[in-house]
Amino acid sequence: MAGQIVSTEGSQMKLGDIDILGDMVLFFKKHELLSIGIVLSVISIITFAFFFINGLGLAYNDARSHLDISRRVVEGLRTGLAQLGSVWLPLPHFLTVFTVWNDFMWHSGLSGALVSMISYVGSGIYIYLSLKRLGVSYLARIAGVLAYATNANVLYLQSTAMTELLLILTITAAVYELIAWYKNDTIWSLIKASFWIMLSTLTRYEGWFLFIVAIFVITLHTFFTKGYRTAEGIFIFVASLAGFGIALWFLWNLLIFKDPLYFALGPYSAHVQQSQIYEAGDLATKWNFLFSAKVYLYGVLYNSGVYLGVLSVGGLLFLLVDKTLNKITKFSLLSILISPLLFNILALYLGFSTMSVVGLTGDRWFNIRYGIMMITPMAILSGYLLHKSSRLRYLLFVLLIVTTFYSYGQGIVTVEDAKKGASAKNVSLVGDWLAKNAKNNNDRVFVSVASHDAIIFSSGLRMSRFIHEGTGGYWESAGRNPEVWARYIVMRTYDLNDSSFSLLKDNPGLGKYDLVLRGEFADVYELREEYQGGLMRKTSKQYTSTDMSSADKNQLLLGSDEVDNKASSSSGLLIFLIFILSGMGLYFLNELGRNPIGAVKQQKITSDFGLSLFLARENIKRNI
Amino acid sequence: MFEILNIKKTNKISPRDTGSMQGAGVELNGRRYITHTTLEPKNTAASTFILWQKLSITILILLICYGLISKPLWTLTIIAGFLSFVYFLDVLFNLFLIIRSLGSPPDIIFSEDELNSLDENKLPLYTILCPLYQEAKVVGRFIQSIEKLDWPIDKLDVILLLEEDDKETQRTVYEHYLPSYIRPVIVPHSLPKTKPKACNWGLSLAKGEFLVIYDAEDIPEPNQLKKAFLGFAKVPRNVICLQAKLNFYNPYQNILTRLFTAEYSLWFDIILPGLQSVQTCIPLGGTSNHFRIDDLLKLEGWDAFNVTEDADLGVRLFRAGYKTAIFDSTTLEEANSQLGNWVRQRSRWVKGYIQTYLVHTRNPVAFINQEGIHAIFFHILLGGRIAFMFINPILWIVTFSYFALNGLVGETIEAVYPGFVLYIAVTSFIVGNFMFIYYYMVGCAKRLQWSIIRYSIFVPFYWVLISCAACVAIYQLIFKPHYWEKTKHGLDVPDSKSILENYQEKDYSIGTAFTKEVVLWPAR
């Protein structure tokens, strides 16, 4: 009867004459990447919806900041790519720009989450492909993908506007292409690997470490297999493309901030932040290698689970003794796979990064999500182990599924960090106040984005309402006369690290404001009513000369209007004259070049001049 | 300069005999040109510009000048925006070609078994044309490399095309022992004095079923003819031309030859296969183009007025509904190692490309209607490439001035590049230039020329040279459009025997993954 299962003999499940399971397997084998893509996409969408409905999509303050950075490129008092800023690498924000112009996409976080979601699907596909390249069985490949794709922390992060998933995609893709290169030795795989490494260097600074490691192992591998000359060429070839992103970043900092190392040493850099944390005694891992390794490994295990950790170690051991791969290839592969581990431990050791694990460094989580970076190598190594353990593979696979489901009930550590950890600065008090009190007017808010980006996001106000460091002339003008430009000031009073406070602390104009809200992380000041009549409420282009002095207007303008048209006109005339003269000169020379004597006869020139030219021409010819 | 406004009167000259193109030509403004082809003058570079092209260029120049005087900012912004957009398009187009070329290499490859399975008794007669003009120095080596060809000698018909007034080369040829299948032929003197004219003469004397052109300094891969023969059997019938890849046997002679080699590797190993992959028109290389003679006769041979007759033929055969394919065989040539010689050679190539562009855009509407997207490809490939030889130096000067003379010209330049235009321009400048330099590296990597890669950093200086050659080209285009700037060969050539002995065909390409770079020049 149609619609009923007719028999379940053996492993076949038949519906009438149709073998459902067999057909599914056949479809999968024929369209394996498409199948994986579809399944992961569905999981991604469902998971995003789940976390969004539960209000967790924007729990990380960093997520809100990432969204705001992208939004400032397209909306604000001063827009443009320069709003991408310096400290955080630009790629995640750049990709978000394409959708963040829409208010819903911005405020829901979907704009940023979309990048993470696509990265999630892409990484899953590349894990599958990597395992396929290594020659593992179908089951082992599925296991590897499952180990990654069902990880609760991965699922959460892919629902947010955080940058970890994009980095995971770029690293996984680079690993795959390098595996392909080791196998087939084509330059196309090498180019793709370099491309992905370049993208990783534009995503997070772990990518820079990957760049160093990848260049080293590729060059070493080539040196031992093909000699110095090829190694040199390959080094330059790979480093050029892979390192282009780093070069661009230095150039960006030079052009925008006049200092190529602004991202590293500038006032908002991680270096400065880490120094402050260190002075406060909260950087426990600095200069302690073992402790740094311990903290990071704990972070890895909290994110991925102990079982996966054990499988990975097993896979690593099997890879080391695998005789089908030569030593150099093994060394190269493993170096690249564990580069996030090395980077993070080094970063903790040198004090460039900070991570807090409950029970080890304190009672709060902080940056525990950094441990998720090892998920890809662990997934690949686990899949590899499953493939190698022929008798136990089904048991290991079942245990993987069981432990994964078990982990869902134990809490998601990245969610805890977002909600309660040090990443979850509660800024809703100030944000809500602004949303309630500032929404009915169009007056501006003076605030430092470096300190209070999350407040800007939480307020729900348009970006063009905010005067911040990236608004150029507005920021400077408001810094001199806040009572003219901003009705509200949001700042952390008495904290010199807050740019708005440090700019206004000695400003007499501050006396015209009342403190209307004292929050945990920031205070709100509002201009007294009697002074609000003097507020500048137009945008720069709307101002006429009577509204403000030309000095102030020039401050606001981006330089595009103030052009000396006279200089342009004279340039145009000069070009025209040069063209005419050159053309006449060419014609004249051509005539003379052909026959200066003929030119004399045609009375084009005097005979003396013609003779001189003739002699000069002959002289030049002889010398050439 | 005022001559360009003149309209040239043309009359066709019929061939001497029916069924042959010998003696055919054209009369231009009272001057006779015997081209040995029956190509319609309007489809040749006999006239450089036709009337509407002359008028258009003049009007455009006047408009720009008027705009620069009356509304300089607007005019410069429009020009800057247009150039930036075209440059950006060119960057993307080249990237597209490279991805296609590397991702799904379309060039025809051959296995050892295929080559060994050929029955030599059934191979057809193959004609090889070799135009020789002032090539006394390299004739001997050319004959040696022809002797190395793996093709039955009774199935070879090698024609050495000697110019009537080139006594030195004639003497050298006649002093040399010539095998029975090599025959020297004197090309009667006539204008235009060009290689395609000589080739047309040779075509009229060809006896074979297939034909290939080699230059005097060429060293073709010994089994190239067999590969071409097999290639014709593999491709659809509308593919009437097979182009071998060209490269150099002296890549490491000096920095100029290194950069030249990088350029050739990029062009023949990456770009041309990329063009093939999108089934668009391919400007042929100067040599190693293989044809069925019947097809070539249908196309009426080469345009004797075009100094890059190969590029023109590639476009012409495409417009006639045919295709070109690249096959996996290489002919090694001599890379120009002297700067002056290089500039002269390049100026001829640029001039020829401009001629080709002007000829095939004489009816732009019909061109687009007929070819669709391929017309766009043509404009980007030829038009864009030519335009940027002239525009690049200006853009570089503007960029340099912006940083070095920011106080003087910074604001003006910023005004010319508002918002969106600025982004495209900066992207084109930084990313585009990097990518173009990287493409040269890709070409070298494809050819396993790893030690040349480090010289890619000098590519911008190479571009300056190209721009200089382009200026020479534009001058010649206006004042002596059909003048053939002869390239000197045999400059610092090492012992020819060592070159040929080093050339081991087994060490050469297998599929698309080269196993060993063929380098005949000893010094690195």
Is pLDDT at A550 greater than 80 in this prediction?
no
In chain B, residues with a C-beta closer than 8 Å to the C-beta of A187 are 102, 442, 445-446
Q: Are strands A445-447 and A488-491 parallel, antiparallel or unpaired?
A: parallel
Name every residue whose Cβ is closer than 8 Å to that of residue B242 and which is 6 or more positions away in sequence.
B108, B228, B231, B232, B235, B289, B290, B324, B325, B326, B327
ipTM: 0.87
* Each residue's pLDDT tens digit, A577-619: 555 665 665 555 555 445 555 555 555 556 666 666 666 666 6
Asked whether the beta carbons of residue A233 and residue B513 sit closer than 8 angstroms, the reply is: no
CB contact under 8 A, A571 and B2: no
The residue-averaged pLDDT of A175-189 equals 90
* Contact: B68, A575; criterion CB under 8 Å: yes
Q: What is the mean pLDDT of residues B29-38?
A: 86
SS3 A115: helix
The rounded distance, in Å, linking the Cα atoms of A260 and A249 is 8
Does the pLDDT at position B523 exceed 60? no
Kindly identify which residue of chain B lies nearest to residue A567, measuring between CA atoms.
B412
> Mean pLDDT throughout A38-45?
96
- A vs B, Cβ pairs < 8 A, gives 104
Helix, strand or coil for residue A185?
Answer: coil
* DSSP code per residue over B354-393: HHHHHHHTSSHHHHHHHHTHHHHHHIIIIIIHHHHHHHHH
Which helix (H) or strand (E) segment holds residue A509: the answer is none
Write the pLDDT tens digit of every residue in B415-458. 888 777 888 888 888 899 999 999 999 999 999 999 999 999 99
How many Å apart are CA B397 and CA B401, to the nearest integer?
A: 6
Are B326 and B245 in contact, with CB atoms under 8 Å apart? Answer: yes
Nearest-CA residue of chain B relative to A237? B441
Whether the per-residue pLDDT at A167 is higher than 70: the answer is: yes
User: Percent of chain A having pLDDT more than 70?
Assistant: 81
CA angle A49, A51, A54 (to 5 degrees): 105
Interface test with B, best of A94, A194, A560 (most B CBs within 10 A): A560
Chain B's closest residue to A588, CA to CA, is B1
User: What's residue A38's pLDDT?
Assistant: 94
pLDDT, average across residues B367-396: 89
- Interface contact A563, partner B, CB < 8 A: yes
Q: Please report the pLDDT score of residue A239 as a whole number.
A: 97
pLDDT of residue B81: 86
Residue B495 pLDDT greater than 80, yes or no: no
Q: Is A584 on the interface with B (CB under 8 A)?
A: yes
Q: What is the pLDDT of residues B37-64, one digit of tens each?
A: 888 888 888 888 888 898 998 999 999 9
B440 to chain A: closest CA residue: A237
Distance between A86 CA and the closest CA of chain B, angstroms = 18
Write out chain B residues lying below 8 Å of A248, CB-based. Answer: 430
Compare all CA atoms of chain B with the CA of A572 and give the residue at the minimum distance. Answer: B68
CB A380 within 8 A of CB A127: yes
Q: What pLDDT is recorded for position B508?
A: 36
Q: How far is CA A119 from CA A17, A92, A155, A158, A262, in A?
A: 40, 11, 11, 8, 29
Question: How are strands ordered across the β-sheet holding A18-19?
Answer: A5-7, A14-15, A18-19
* CA A622 distance to own-chain centroid: 63
Average pLDDT of B13-29?
Answer: 83
Considering only CB atoms, which residues of chain B are within 8 Å of chain A? 1-2, 61, 65, 67-69, 72-73, 75-76, 102-103, 340, 411-412, 414-415, 418-419, 423, 430, 434, 437-438, 441-442, 444-446, 448-454, 456, 475, 478-479, 513, 524
Q: How confident is the model at residue A535 (pLDDT cuts 50, 70, 90)?
A: confident
**Looking at the partner chain, which of B61, B412, B445 has a beta carbon nearest the beta carbon of A563?**
B412
pLDDT of residue A451: 85
The residue written with tokens 């402790």 in the block is A291
Angle, CA of B127, B129 and B135, to the nearest 5°: 150
Single-letter amino acid code for the residue at B76: L
Residues in chain B closer than 8 A to A562 (CB atoms): 411
Tens-place pLDDT, residues B109-128 = 898 898 889 898 999 999 99
Q: Which long-range contacts (CB under 8 A, 24 or more apart) does A462-467 make?
A: A462/A75, A463/A68, A463/A71, A463/A72, A463/A75, A463/A76, A464/A75, A464/A76, A464/A77, A464/A539, A465/A438, A466/A76, A466/A77, A467/A77
pLDDT band for A323, please (50, 70, 90 cuts).
confident
Among B206, B228, B239, B247, smallest CA distance to B149 is for B228
Distance CA B107, CA B273 (A): 6
- Min distance B20 CA to chain A CA atoms (Å): 37
Cβ contact, residue pair A233, B450, below 8 Å: yes
pLDDT at B515: 40
- Digit-coded pLDDT (tens) for A492-527: 988 888 889 999 989 999 999 999 999 888 899 999
The average pLDDT across B339-343 equals 92
Give the burial class of B80: count Cβ atoms within 10 A of its Cβ; 0-12 exposed, 13-18 middle, 19 or more buried.
buried
* Maximum average pLDDT range among A7-16, A109-118, A134-143, A472-481: A109-118
Q: What is the SS3 assignment for B236?
A: coil
Binary contact (A568, B475; C-beta < 8 A): no
State phi, psi for A404 to the nearest 5 degrees.
-65, -50
Burial annotation B389-403 (CB, 10 A radius, 16+ → b, else e):
bebbbebbebbeeee
Tell me what the mean pLDDT of segment A112-141 comes to. Answer: 94
Given an 8 Å threshold on Cβ–Cβ distance, is B415 in contact with A241? no
Is the CB of A240 less than 8 angstroms away from the CB of B441? yes
Query: Percent of chain B scored above 70 by pLDDT?
Result: 92
* A560/B446 Cβ within 8 A: no
Collect all residues of chain B within an 8 Å Cβ-Cβ radius of residue A560: 414-415, 418-419
Mutate one of A248, A256, A568, A573 to test the B interface: name it (highest B CB count within 10 A): A568
Number of Cβ atoms within 10 Å of the Cβ of A529: 8
CB contact under 8 A, A569 and B69: yes
Query: What confidence tens digit (pLDDT) does each residue in B158-196 have?
Result: 999 998 888 888 888 888 888 889 999 999 888 888 899
- A439 has pLDDT over 90: no
Query: Contact B72/A571, CB-based, under 8 Å?
Result: yes
Burial of A399 (0-12, 13-18, 19+ CB in 10 A): middle
Four-point Cα dihedral A415, A419, A425, A427, nearest 10: 120
